[in-house]
Structure 1
Amino acid sequence: MGVGKVTIYLRGTEEYSELQANVGMGSFHDRRPGGTSAHLGTKQVFRGKGTGQIAANVGVGSIELRPEE
């Protein structure tokens, strides 16, 4: 995505083997228990127990990881 906000809802780490979140200018927030936040340009990589990969890219804006409700 060029500009905007991406929210990814996750049940757990079983949904992916690797999750990459890239933000060129903006913020990243992991709202799951024990999660972290980062601002400006950031690349976050998480390893999971699943088989697929998730890649989220935002040029200007934010990426947010949330536990599935």
Structure 2
Amino acid sequence: MLSLTGEPVFDEKGMLQKGVIVRHLLLPGHKRNAREVIEYIHQNYGDRVILSLMNQYTPLRD
């Protein structure tokens, strides 16, 4: 995807016009895994992608 879109481009209001957003769902009890994912993205893509961390996971109860 990154090779197709290139670097992030924002308009004058700060809205993303083109680029890649990587969304990562943070799961309870998986802090180490999340850190590894974030480090991987940073090491391999740096500021060429936008990282969106989501923490709204809600486990279903019986």
Pairwise same-fold verdict (TM > 0.5): no
| Larger radius of gyration between Structure 1 and Structure 2 | 2
TM-score, normalised relative to structure 1: 0.35
Higher helix share: 2
Q: Which has the higher contact order (CA 8 A, sep 6+)?
A: 1
Higher strand share: 1
TM-score, normalised relative to structure 2: 0.37
